[in-house]
Amino acid sequence: MDLFKKCYDYTLVEEYKKKGIYPYFHALESRQDKVVQMESKRRIMLGSNNYLGLTACPEVVEAGIKAMEKYGTGCSGSRFLNGTLDLHLELEKELASFLRKDDACTWSTGFQSNLGIISAIAGKNDIIFCDRENHASIYDGCRLSLASMVRYHHNDMEELEKLLQQADENAGKLIITDGVFSMRGDIANIPRIVELAKAYGARVMIDDAHGLGVIGEGGRGTASYWGLENEVDIYMGTFSKSLASLGGYMVASQKVINYVKHHSRPFIFSASLPPANAACALAALRHLEANPGLPRKLAGLSDYARRGMVARNVPISLGETPIIPIYLSDADTTLQVAKDIFDAGVYVNPVLPPATGPNECLLRTSYMASLTESLIDEALDIIASVLGDRFSKQAEAQA
* Residues that are catalytic: 182, 210, 241
The answer to whether the beta carbons of residues 153 and 162 sit under 8 Å apart is no
Nearest in space to 233 (alpha carbons), one of 90, 91, 97, 102: 102
298 vs 59: CA distance, rounded Å: 20
29 vs 38: CA distance, rounded Å: 5
The answer to whether the beta carbons of residues 99 and 235 sit under 8 Å apart is yes
190 vs 196: CA distance, rounded Å: 10
Q: In what helix (H) or strand (E) does residue 129 lie, and over which residues does it extend?
A: strand 127-131
Cα-based angle 28, 360, 50 (whole degrees, multiple of 5):
30
DSSP 158-200: HHHHHHHHHS-TTS-EEEEEESB-TTT--B--HHHHHHHHHHH
Chain centroid to Cα 399, Å, comes to 42
The answer to whether the beta carbons of residues 294 and 52 sit under 8 Å apart is yes
Q: In what helix (H) or strand (E) does residue 205 lie, and over which residues does it extend?
A: strand 203-207
